[in-house]
Structure 1
């Protein structure tokens, strides 16, 4: 296995944490809570966030320089997801994971 830069490894971990947080919160908390939590724009955003996080981690793990583009997009979507989850409320774990991932991905995209 090739050596992965510690900063990149941290970003991979943040992406995978955010993937897990968004997916599990959407499929558990949001579906059970209903209301605003399951409105299509919010729910789609959470699914998009989970998927871009998984994809960003994948691109870094396979070592393609294209990870920068994906990480840039990931940072944008994570920031949007964090704001929307905060707006709805009662989603602190998701907000935190998204913010951490957005920051890590901004650094990787730079």
Structure 2
């Protein structure tokens, strides 16, 4: 799945979704650390961090047109979905915003993958 610079505009929607997901996950993880029952938020924090990291890696692979982007993209979709599911279980605003960003990222990645 190598891409030429001419496909930059085709890549922009998925790169934007990945960027929004990274930011939402980082903010959610930080906000979870300030919740009263932090121990209950540990799975959420871990998934937020994993999701942000895989989104960063996926964006880099897509941006540089890596032949391995397709493989990383599949993992990104899986982790983003798990993060959306976990965050979606919590009523905190930051978790709900993160879940929405993760779901949007899953959709953008699936569309990109075709």
Q: What TM-score do you get using the length of structure 1 for normalisation? A: 0.86
Aligned-partner Cα distance in 2 for 1:37–1:67: 35
CA contact (8 A) 1:30 1:37 kept: no
1:24 deviates by 1.7
Which consecutive residues of structure 2, in runs of 5 or more, have no partner in the other structure? Answer: none
Q: Deviations over 1:8-46 (max 9, x none)?
A: 21001100110111012211x211114257643221111
**4+ residue segments displaced more than 6 Å:** none
Greater radius of gyration (CA): 2
Match of 2:23 among 20, 33, 36: 20
Which consecutive residues of structure 1, in runs of 5 or more, have no partner in the other structure? Answer: none
The residue aligned with 2:109 is 105
CA RMSD of aligned residues (A): 2.0
Aligned length: 109
Closer, same or farther in 2 for the Cα pair 1:9/1:30, shift >3 Å?
same
